[in-house]
């Protein structure tokens, strides 16, 4: 069965510092990969997605993610974090040939001044 692991429950970074959120997935073929962000009391918003092609994908709000097949990883990065980036971030895998999207448990990002 497919699974998604986000090893970090929470991360704190200083405003202006770089950010990397880790995501590892378990799946035999090339999966459909997503990163979503959720602010408190709200639904999830898509940041970026990867299906095939260039392994470095650009998303909204200055985020990017890199697909590394050899490491089964899809880490999210941002070169300079803003206070408004504080939220919960979810990595997700789309079930190939099916309907489901499997979400990781999330990483909560705290931004300090």
- Rounded Cα gap, residues 50 and 63, in angstroms: 13
Q: Which is nearer to other proteins, 2 or 72 (CB)?
A: 2
Q: Cβ of residue 49: shortest distance to other proteins, in angstroms?
A: 6
41 makes contact with other proteins (CB under 8 A): yes
Token couple for 20: 């990397």
Judge contact between 76 and 20, C-beta under 8 A.
Answer: yes
Judge contact between 4 and 59, C-beta under 8 A.
Answer: no
Please tell me the count of residues contacting other proteins according to CB under 8 A: 28
59 makes contact with other proteins (CB under 8 A): no
53 makes contact with other proteins (CB under 8 A): no
CA dihedral 87→88→93→99, nearest 10 degrees, is -90
Token couple for 105: 């448990």
57 makes contact with other proteins (CB under 8 A): no
44 makes contact with other proteins (CB under 8 A): yes
Query: What is the contact surface with other proteins in residues (CB under 8 A)?
Result: 4, 9, 32, 34, 36, 41-46, 49, 51, 90, 92, 94-106
């Amino acid at each position: 069965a497919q699974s998604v692991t986000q090893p970090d429950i929470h991360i704190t970074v200083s405003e202006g510092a770089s950010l990397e959120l880790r995501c590892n997935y378990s799946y035999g073929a090339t999966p459909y990969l997503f990163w979503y962000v959720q602010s408190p009391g709200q639904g999830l918003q898509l940041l970026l997605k990867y299906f095939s092609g260039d392994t470095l994908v650009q998303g909204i709000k200055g985020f990017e993610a890199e697909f590394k097949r050899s490491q089964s990883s899809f880490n999210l990065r941002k070169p300079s974090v803003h206070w408004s980036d504080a939220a919960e971030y979810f990595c997700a895998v789309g079930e190939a040939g099916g309907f489901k999207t499997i979400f990781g448990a999330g990483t909560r990002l705290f931004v300090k001044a």
